[in-house]
Amino acid sequence: MVCKVQYYEKPVLNNPVLIEGLPGIGFVANITALQLIKELNAKLFAQIQSSYFQDLALTTGNGKTYFPTNQFYYAKGKDGKRDIIILYGNTQALTTIGQYELCGKILEISEDLGCKYILTVGGLRTKEKITNPDLYCTASDKETLQEALDLGAKIMKGHIFGVAGLLVGLCKLYEINGLCLLAETTGLYPDPVATRRVLKVINEMLNLKINLENLSEATEETREILKSFGIVSHSAVEKKGREADFRWFI
């Protein structure tokens, strides 16, 4: 099967931007996606399951069962604003090949929905805790890069692993522009401060009014999922990394 997509609905969208929100450093992308889904009242319309996800099921004691999955939500833009697709999930793929296959599928879906712009989100690990995190960016092309620089982002220097980097690298193959935004974070716990830094720029770029003060609910929800999986103890999620199978899974 490799990647199997299940559509619940095929929305007709107006010049949509896709915002990627899969698990990663500081769970910045995850919290960003959750907050956008809540604030925009976004609607689930499709999900992907991949042969490169973990081969397991997880249950949490309240009867709710989790499986490795990536989900697509959409929100219609109000007052002539562009529509938004949100990619939320509890895992990335386990292997290099799996990541490419997953990104290929995400890009096919984006292309199919007329999406010409992809925004990926993540954390950039720092040693010290930072109260005013900087935002770093990289882009598929100069125009897109300039747009982020104009909003105060700095140029990223180094490696960007995972879907956040790969989508921006591959999007040109699909004639889609891509921008990656990374906020500084220690990455030790789901980080609402770094997330706020990202959402602030998203608000400006897309002319949105996402609530930046009330991120505690989305952060707590992310933390709860981690906890129930036995991955988080107290404030540290670093243990997660020890087990290769859980590289991306929350």
Nearest to 123 by CA among 223, 28, 226, 19: 28
Applying CB under 8 A, the span of 38-46, 51-59, 202-210, 217-225 interacting with a copy of itself comes to 51-59
Q: Is 226 in the site for a copy of itself (CB under 8 A)?
A: no
Q: Which of 37, 85, 115, 180 binds a copy of itself (CB under 8 A)?
A: 180
Q: Which of residues 124-163 bind a copy of itself (CB under 8 A)?
A: 138-140, 142, 145, 155-162
How many residues at the interface with a copy of itself, by CB under 8 A?
52
Sheet holding 17-21, edge to edge: 3-7, 43-50, 70-75, 84-89, 17-21, 117-125, 177-185, 135-139, 154-155
Query: Using CA atoms in the order 142, 111, 53, 43, what is the torsion angle rounded to 10 degrees?
Result: 110
Asked if 178 and 168 touch (Cβ cutoff 8 Å), the reply is yes
Q: Is 28 in the site for a copy of itself (CB under 8 A)?
A: no
Closest distance between a copy of itself and the C-beta of residue 25, in Å? Answer: 13
Sign of the Cα torsion 214, 201, 221, 190 reads negative
Q: Is 10 in the site for a copy of itself (CB under 8 A)?
A: no
Q: Is 172 in the site for a copy of itself (CB under 8 A)?
A: yes
Asked if 45 and 84 touch (Cβ cutoff 8 Å), the reply is no
Contacts with a copy of itself by CB under 8 A lie at: 1, 4, 6, 49-63, 65, 67-68, 94, 96-101, 104, 138-140, 142, 145, 155-162, 165-166, 168-170, 172-173, 180, 230, 245
